[in-house]
Amino acid sequence: MHNLLGKDQLVCSFLVVLPFSTVVAQNNANIDVGLSLTAGDNDARWLSPSEDFAFGFHQLENGNFLLAIWYYKLTNQQTTFVWYANGENNSAPRGSKLELYSDRGLVLKDPRGTQLWSTSGEIAAGSSVFYAVMNDTGNFQLLDENSNPLWQSFEHPMDTLLPGQIMEIDGNLTSRKGENDFSSGRFVLRMLPDGNAVLNTINLPSKNSYDAYYISGTNDDANQSNRGLRVVYNTSGDLYVLRGNREREIILSEGSISTSDNYRRVTLNFDGVLTLSYHSKEPSSSWDTIAYIPDDNICEKISGEKGTGPCGYNSICSIQSNGRPSCKCPKGYSFFDPTDAFSGCKPDFLTNYCASDSPFEEYSLERIPNTDWPTSDYELITPYDQQSCQNSCLHECLCGAAIFRNNSCWKKKLPLSNGRDGLSEFMAFLKVGRNSSSKIPRPPGTTPPRDAKDQDNLVIVLSSLFGTSAFANLILVAAICSILFFNYKKNKKLLGISPRETCVESNLRQFTYKELTEATNGFKEELGRGSCGIVYKGETESSVLVAVKKLDKVFQDSHKEFKVEVNVIGQTHHKNLVRLIGYCEENQHRLLVYEFLSNGTLARFLFGDCKPSWTQRIQIAHGIARGLVYLHEECSTQIIHCDIKPQNILLDEYYNARISDFGLAKLLLLDQSHTKTNVRGTKGYVAPDWFRSAKVSVKVDVYSFGVILLEIICCRRNVDMEIGGGVRGILTDWAYDCYADGKLDALIEDDMEAMNDIKRVERFVKVAIWCLQEDPNIRPTMKKVMLMLEGIVQVSVPPSPCSFTSVN
């Protein structure tokens, strides 16, 4: 694989490692200090003399701009970038400005003057930039008055190497997150101090490397002076490791591709494959791959005990003819990000297998031939037959999948990693929700579907109506009416409600104080305390669990107000609101009776010892948003909650978010646009509107939702001085700083599920920042918030939450 160099070759080798400015001799158009580019301008670029390369702003699909270098003449296809500056979740909004300074070099600022990127830290103290050039090699340089480079893009590669480019010890190429996602991905090519060039998968939050799936083998312990020194991509088209004795260890080679008629590049793709490719300088052609590594099957090469393969967790990797992986989700699973096949797969059903009393009824096993997830085993049973392997996995709550091969059964638990197909004699059995019954569980309190027998009987009855005498028809109609009335009374009884006890306006039961005292065993078991009173656990005579809210003096002096509040609450019906069953108004006692929700508050769910799954948190955020949209825009009387916080969000048995305590604040009538009232809410969630003379609107709930959304993302309280104080102590401040600095990984730390869905994390953070705007007029409506969360409406770059003008 290597060749010893002759004397002539040795001279050429030394030329490669000379400074780039001495190797490349060309007439460059100088870019003077003081010149600038503005994102969005038609000419926001600086071209190389041949116009092969452009340096400047390129607009992305989201409307923002990437500061990059690209092949300028290849305009008939997707732009091919060879370098980019601000890809770490830090794209520049329209109007951002790049300026060349003598002391700091290049400085990129957004329209508000916030610095997004700079070369200042790379320029030696005391040095002064005299001018800049965009070379025909694709190298952008900042030069001093003697034309010595102070900074150059070739020394800071992203995911691409160009002919003549070198990667020294500790240098690296890092893949993108996706084809059009320029944040750092999960793959890296590194030149190690031990002399080896390696390809690794990495842990995104910490950049910690997992097992290498390619090693150059240039670490010579017996002769350390012969170790690898650098990775070189020379102008002849070879990518190699140069050893200490000037020996070359070839990594990839182009062969006989013409250098004058073709563009050439080496790219670490977002799927982990390192490719060497070329493109004719005729724009009508396309990029062709000459060579790649791993040169056999990357689906098999990435097989470490930690991390996952090219396709993410729970997915199945297949190799294509060009050496690139293809990813798919097994039946019952779908991509975390529907637009990214490499994002991994999430189950479309509840995976709390151990909570099921009858797993055989709720789950089934999906047969997937020639497939394995080799690094997810927790138990091996051998010898064993195939049927026993299936039964064992189906009835064991820890088992998410089983692999049968050669009379052996490997049990596996979720998440499944390094999935691959094409393995003969392997049979995978994947546990999935039976007939999707676990995917959309029936909410508690809903009427079960009429069984087949009842439906058949009804069909028989209806059919006979039209084949009998009029007298018989009358008898049948009377019988049907009696049955319907009986079922109505029966359903009322199931909820502990009788027709004579209901409130006409809202169909609520009116309880006596004695009934609720007995139901709560003398108000013995307290569930929680709120601004309006204390909540107790109770049970009606018909064994229905309830939550009884014993109100304080808020409503004691206003019989009319209480009745209005109760009727409005009783008329609200939405799957993301807690349902009101009844009330008590007796003497000075005012109580509300709600359905009991078994999984408690969102606060207990988020801030416990174990971090909840990212998938559950996503659904909870969507549920809260939908509930608020209903209160603000869809119910008959518009309601401002005024105290949205995790303690007022409850979770039902399926962990659906249900908003409680709505309607207990002052109501906003449909023909009103604003209302003034005293400050309401809870510290840490209260909008600044309350403390000014500004009129209070539904935007106070939007602000509170922004706080909760950040808490859902980070699984921590907004105000938490025990984690180190300073800016980290206030989540809303720290989250914006992390977003502005392009360090969202710090917010979610070791949450790998969220890291694998970082695009959604970024979208959620941006939505939260929009909600937290100090000026309520800038905050979006909850309807728009919901659409942004769901990805239906694009989320633009938010400004700093602290406005520069006060709201009067």
- Three-state SS string over 157-214 comes to CCCEECCCEEEECCCEEEEEEECCEEEEEEEEEEECCCCCEEEEEEECCCCEEEEEEE
d(CA 542, CA 489): 13
Measure Cα distances from 93 to 369, 478, 736, 798 in Å: 48, 71, 16, 10
CB atoms within 10 A of CB 15: 13
Distance of alpha carbon 742 from alpha carbon 754, whole angstroms:
16
Q: Where are the domains of the chain?
A: 1-156, 157-295, 305-436, 469-596, 605-808
Smallest CA-to-CA distance from 176 within 91, 264, 272, 311 is with: 272
Annotated active-site residue in 110, 159, 643, 652: 643
Pairing of β 316-319 and β 325-328: antiparallel
Kindly give the parts of the chain with pLDDT less than 70. 1-28, 76-77, 87-90, 355-361, 435-507, 530-531, 553-561, 564, 665-683, 691-694, 721-727, 803-808
Residue with token string 């926001």? 44
What is the pLDDT, as a whole number, of residue 68?
95
| Residues whose CB is less than 8 angstroms from the CB of residue 332 and which lie 6 or more positions away in sequence, other chains included | 347, 348, 349, 366, 430, 432, 433
pLDDT at position 680 is 53
1-156 and 157-295 have identical folds: yes
The pLDDT assigned to 281 comes to 87
For 66, 763, 796, the CA distances from 62, given in Å and listed in that order, are 11, 12, 8
Task: Report yes or no: 89 and 744 within 8 Å, Cβ to Cβ.
Answer: yes
**Domain 469-596 class in CATH:** alpha beta
pLDDT at 468: 45
Q: Would the CA dihedral through 499, 500, 505, 507 be positive or negative?
A: negative
pLDDT for res 217: 92
Q: Which of 264, 4, 256, 28 is nearest to 135 (CA)?
A: 28
Give the single-character DSSP code of 530. -
Please say if 643 is a catalytic residue: yes
Which residue from 509, 477, 505, 516 is spatially nearest to 494, judged by alpha carbons?
509
Q: Contact 660/651 with Cβ under 8 angstroms?
A: no
- With respect to CATH, is domain 157-295 assigned 3.40.50.300? no
712 in Cβ contact with 620 (< 8 Å)? yes
Total count of residues recorded for the chain: 808
Q: Which helix (H) or strand (E) holds 108?
A: strand 105-109
> What would the CATH number be for the domain defined by 1-156?
2.90.10.10
Homologous superfamily assigned to 605-808 = Transferase(Phosphotransferase) domain 1 (1.10.510.10)
In this structure, are residues 262 and 290 in contact, taking their beta carbons and an 8 Å threshold?
no
- Would you state the pLDDT for residue 683? 67
Residue 344, exposed/middle/buried by CB under 10 A (0-12, 13-18, 19+)? buried
Give the Å distances, CA to CA, from 527 to 263, 461, 547, 661, 681. 69, 49, 8, 14, 20
d(CA 470, CA 202): 80
* Residue that is written with structure tokens 């039946």 in the block: 331
Note the pLDDT of residue 409: 96
pTM for this entry: 0.54
Per-residue model confidence (pLDDT) at position 491: 47
